[in-house]
Amino acid sequence: MNRTRFVVSATFCLVLRAVPGQQDPPAPGAAAIREKPPENARVTELVTAMQKAEAAARTVWLAMATEQHGPEGLAVTTRGTLRVLRGEHPAVHTVVEYEFGNGLRGRMESARTEAGVLVLEDNPAQGETLTHIDPATATDLEWAGEVLEREAVPGLQDARSQAPLGSAMLADLARVFDLQPLPRRERDGQAGTWLGGSLRSGLQPETDPEVPLGDRVEVFVREPDQALLEVAVWQGPLVIQRIVVTKIEIDRPMTAELFAIDGKGLRQRSLREQPAAWEQVQKLLEEAETRAAAAPGDGPKVRPSRRK
């Protein structure tokens, strides 16, 4: 729920770098926010129903659009797609195109399969690059993301790919905002549940980066498929963040070709061939091992590739 990732991380899940200007370290308050359970019975009922439907889905195909207005008025818009295949050969494919209000734009496409993670990126700073993350490193990074409670690190699947109907997002919002049912019962002619509420007491967006900038949120969950289709974060009379699911299909047949990336003739480079990026990865893994070693319990203390 980090404010700088709130919109972008909701759209894509396997990224090598965050969108330029969108990267902050996690705040100490993150765990406390996540551990606070939702209090409203209707929210709990919806999250449970969404999780049940998500567990039964074998494939998911969705498209999303987002818009965010930063504290200095700079707008960021994204459009993206997410494909998830479960079963014997699981795979995830994402595409996200982003544009800032000043004209800066870029594109990222990624695929995670049994061969690891492949990322095709085009951004103003580096141009087009094609990077491969080997399976062992991808698994290490996924573990590190879980230990450090980070939503967007190389190889880490975000909540939307793991919970494609939006159950994890709704649960996170309920920990930050006091969600209550609203009188409206439809959106664009589709029946469902509107929830809304103000920021929970004691949370300060101005001082805690884990709290999204905004003082109120409204959410729509469609019936009967229990899909979260819209999230709007308000600051006073203005919507400063909006996420809209424009398309969602469950159990649509998928083939391996849908998870292939056309590298456009670019030379594929291993993450290990990029000193700056590889150093960043090693620091993140070491940070995760340090935290895991200090954590109580019998959980793994080192990255998966170092276990016997």
122-144 pLDDT per residue, tens: 988 888 999 999 999 999 988 88
3-state helix, strand, coil in the chain (%, to 5): 25, 35, 40
pTM of the predicted protein model: 0.80
Spell out the long-range contacts of 257-263 with Cβ–Cβ below 8 A and sequence spacing 24 or more: 258/83, 258/85, 258/93, 259/83, 259/85, 259/91, 259/92, 259/93, 259/111, 259/113, 260/111, 261/109, 261/110, 261/111, 261/118, 261/120, 261/130, 262/120, 263/120, 263/130
Q: Inform me whether the pLDDT recorded for 3 exceeds 80.
A: no
Going 294 to 295 to 296 to 300, the CA torsion angle's sign is negative
Q: Model confidence at 206, in pLDDT bands (50, 70, 90)?
A: low
- Rounded to whole angstroms, what are the CA distances from 20 to 79, 134, 156, 296? 16, 24, 19, 36
DSSP strand E in the chain: where?
59-69, 75-85, 91-100, 105-113, 116-123, 127-133, 180-181, 186-187, 190-198, 216-222, 227-235, 238-250, 268-270
Mean pLDDT for all residues in the chain = 82
pLDDT, tens digit (0-9, with 9 covering 90-100), for 245-287: 999 999 999 988 899 999 989 999 999 998 988 998 999 999 9
Q: What is the pLDDT of residue 15?
A: 31
Q: Inform me whether the pLDDT recorded for 228 exceeds 90.
A: yes
Residue 161: both structure tokens together: 């790919």
**Which residue type does 149 have?**
E
22: left (phi over 0), alpha (psi -120 to 50) or beta: alpha
